[in-house]
Chain A
């Protein structure tokens, strides 16, 4: 699944580690999501959407 997490994170000047701390997951999880190696669970996708103040559909595209 494609996603705009790298762009949204970059807009805020955050590192992957910063985003990981906000979401309370590992940096490896963020890296795996950003590179498309891992599709997050629904709760994590909602947490990402809430953090960036976007809808899930705006962030994740099939």
Chain B
């Protein structure tokens, strides 16, 4: 892989992992604030805080897309399309499973599924080139 493109993907993986760690930490804090803090501006800020790193994940990915060459961009688009289709399939299947009594899931799960499917494909591309 050309240095610039490979470096762009490596930087993306690293910054993505770091930002995801920040997101998880803020998510844990927000979950705790939901049950342990009384109504206050601070509680609202803590609960909303995970939005920032969550959006940063998207920004980092868009920036990496702009730094890669055309073939890697195509692979990123393909990975995003597959992630969207996996989410569509999951949402369809789980809708009917909910009718049968499975617990209602938050829409936050959509974000989790998208990133797991997308990142897995990008890591595979970086590791094997396939």
Q: How far is the CB of B39 from chain A (nearest CB, A)?
A: 52
Q: How many chain-A residues does the 8 Å CB contact rule pick out? A: 15
Q: Chain B contact residues: over half helix, strand or loop, or mixed?
A: helix
Residues in chain A near residue B6, CB distance under 8 A: 26
CA distance A25 to B71 in the complex (A): 9
Range class of the B interface residue count: 10 to 19
- CB <8 Å contact, A25 and B129: no
Extra 16 A-B pairs, beta carbons < 8 Å, given A24-B2, A24-B69: A20-B2, A25-B5, A26-B1, A26-B5, A26-B72, A27-B1, A27-B2, A27-B129, A28-B71, A28-B129, A29-B70, A29-B71, A31-B129, A38-B71, A38-B74, A41-B70
